[in-house]
Amino acid sequence: MKPVEAASAPHKGIVQRIFQNLGLLIGGKATAGLLSLAYMVIAARALGPADYGMLVLVHGFAMTVGGIVEFPGWHAVVRYGAQALEDADDGRLVRLLRFAAGVEGIGALLAMITVAVLSPIVGPRFGWSAEAQAFALPYSLAVLAAARATPAGYLQLLGRFDLLGAHNAVAPLVRLAGAAIAALLGAGLTGFLIAWLVAALAEWASLWAMGAWLARRNIAAHRLLGPARGVIEENPGILRFMLAANADITFGELAGRIAPLAVGWVLGPAAAGLYAVAQRGTVVIQQPAQILGQAAYAEFARTVASHGRASAVRRALVRCLAIALATALPVVLILTIFARPLVVLIGGKAFAAAAPILIWLAMARVIMLVAPPISAALVALGRPVLSVGANVATGLGLVPLLFLLMHRFGVIGAGVHAVIQAMASSALLVWFVWRASAPHPAAEPARAVEPG
């Protein structure tokens, strides 16, 4: 295998490498954020709250069901792939990639079938129009957008965060072009659903193409397609690890995905449209934390694979979180002050009622800044079950409270619930990672890794 730049810089500290990775990702994500805001303005103004809410609900339902049924394996690719790189074992790495891709492919197929079967059943309860219900079946293909974890994990393993950053802009760019065409043609809800579907397929295909191209360059001695025999034996604990890591992803994302669907279920598509605009307005807080978790996981996993101390992971994590919180607080202040002008700018005066929701969601987002990096640290330390526990307890355990708050306060109740859920989840995650990364001198290896 050709030398990998990210794996060949041991002189750099963990924090320095994490923020180097973050820098490569943030450019693409910033571009994606601007493109997303542009296509949202077009869609919201062209469709209005009710039809825009239906667009959100159709897409959200497909992604939620897909996220539950699919089985991404990028955590395993990074964790066990880092061990294969450490041992310079290309054969083990390519078998790992085949195994992860096969599992992910089966999960994607099951997810598409599930979405296709359930859409006609739940559509009427969500208040979908006949137009939305008619397109719900072909829209099941959109779940492929999430079936790209294997190449994403491989790119992280190789330190190609530049390509991951560029890929972040693919779907928003296609959506923007599609939204502009749909608006100019007056294609209505169906036109926007087609644009969103094409963007999802482009997002899926482009990342697999990147992964295949890099694999052919770096593992030229091995065929990409072939059997995955021996993966379980040469990667001890991989099945249990994949189950726990997948559950962590599923339940970690579930609360954010359930909320818009719950709003649509209880209050209708128009309320879901207001909630979606408020959510989009606060993405500027959420996305850097998600990127930081993605950038940090590869370094945490590499530290553990090279026999680094758990305490080094803890120190690096604390520094990353402090920087993330310090940079987010001014953004929250700006969003709070300019909430109403922002939602009016996005969707027009019809969406002005989304301003109070945006303020609640902004508070929740800043509280949840700690979650992605902490989850990454727990998975890298081989303790994904702790992250799963926190996400299950707060993501699912507090769902009844969401419905109670919406019945009492309307759509504002969903914002209040987001803050309560964020506080509970963050507190549990902090407690779990502090225990998991506690120094144990007798158990830790003698060789320390410079934390940053």
Residue 230 predicted with pLDDT over 90: no
Residue 367 predicted with pLDDT over 80: yes
Q: How does pLDDT run across 115-146, given as a tens digit for each residue?
A: 999 988 888 888 888 888 888 889 999 988 87
Q: How does pLDDT run across 307-316, given as a tens digit for each residue?
A: 556 666 667 7
User: Could you say which DSSP state residue 224 is in?
Assistant: S
Residue 228 predicted with pLDDT over 90: no
What amino acid occupies position 399? Answer: V
The average confidence (pLDDT) of the chain is 79
pLDDT band at 178 (very low <50, low <70, confident <90, very high): very high
Q: Look at 88 and 359; give whichever has higher pLDDT.
A: 359
What amino acid occupies position 136? Answer: A
User: Do 358 and 343 contact (CB within 8 A), yes or no?
Assistant: yes
CA 1 to CA 82: how far, in whole Å?
13
Instruction: Give me 4's structure tokens.
Output: 């990998």
Q: How does pLDDT run across 63-82, given as a tens digit for each residue?
A: 888 888 877 777 788 888 88
What amino acid occupies position 139? Answer: Y
Taking alpha carbons only, the member of 292, 281, 293 closest to residue 360 is: 281
Other C-beta atoms closer than 10 Å to the C-beta of 39 total 25
Q: What percent of the chain has pLDDT over 90?
A: 14
pLDDT at residue number 127: 83
DSSP states along 175-217: HHHHHHHHHHHT-HHHHHHHHHHHHHHHHHHHHHHHHHHHHHH
In terms of phi and psi (left: phi > 0; alpha: psi -120 to 50; beta: otherwise), the region of 441 is alpha
User: Could you say which DSSP state residue 225 is in?
Assistant: S
Residue 6 predicted with pLDDT over 50: no
Q: How does pLDDT run across 391-442, given as a tens digit for each residue?
A: 777 877 888 899 999 989 998 999 999 999 989 988 888 888 887 777 655 4
Helix runs in 219-308, H state only = 231-234, 238-267, 269-281, 283-305
Q: Look at 298 and 170; give whichever has higher pLDDT.
A: 170
Other C-beta atoms closer than 10 Å to the C-beta of 442 total 4
CA 306 to CA 197: how far, in whole Å?
42
| Mean predicted confidence (pLDDT) in 285-304 | 63
DSSP states along 66-111: HHHH----HHHHHHHHHHHHHTT-HHHHHHHHHHHHHHHHHHHHHH
pLDDT at residue number 305: 60
Looking at beta carbons, which pairs linking 315-319 to residues 24 or more positions away fall under 8 Å? 315/451, 315/452, 316/13, 316/14, 316/15, 316/18, 316/451, 316/452, 317/373, 317/374, 317/377, 317/433, 317/437, 319/15, 319/451, 319/452
Residue 30 predicted with pLDDT over 70: no
pLDDT band at 295 (very low <50, low <70, confident <90, very high): low
pLDDT at residue number 145: 82
Judged on CB neighbours under 10 Å (0-12, 13-18, 19+), 278 is buried
CA 295 to CA 21: how far, in whole Å?
5
Residue with tokens 């699919």, as numbered in its chain: 70
Q: How does pLDDT run across 244-291, given as a tens digit for each residue?
A: 777 767 776 776 778 888 888 888 888 888 888 888 777 766 666 666
pLDDT at residue number 26: 57
Q: How does pLDDT run across 183-200, given as a tens digit for each residue?
A: 999 888 999 999 999 999
Taking alpha carbons only, the member of 5, 383, 310, 376 closest to residue 157 is: 5
CA 105 to CA 147: how far, in whole Å?
7
Q: How does pLDDT run across 138-150, given as a tens digit for each residue?
A: 999 998 887 888 8
pLDDT band at 7 (very low <50, low <70, confident <90, very high): very low
146-182 b/e (C-beta count within 10 Å ≥ 16 → b): bbbbbbbbbbbbbbbbebbbbbbbbbbbbbbebbeeb
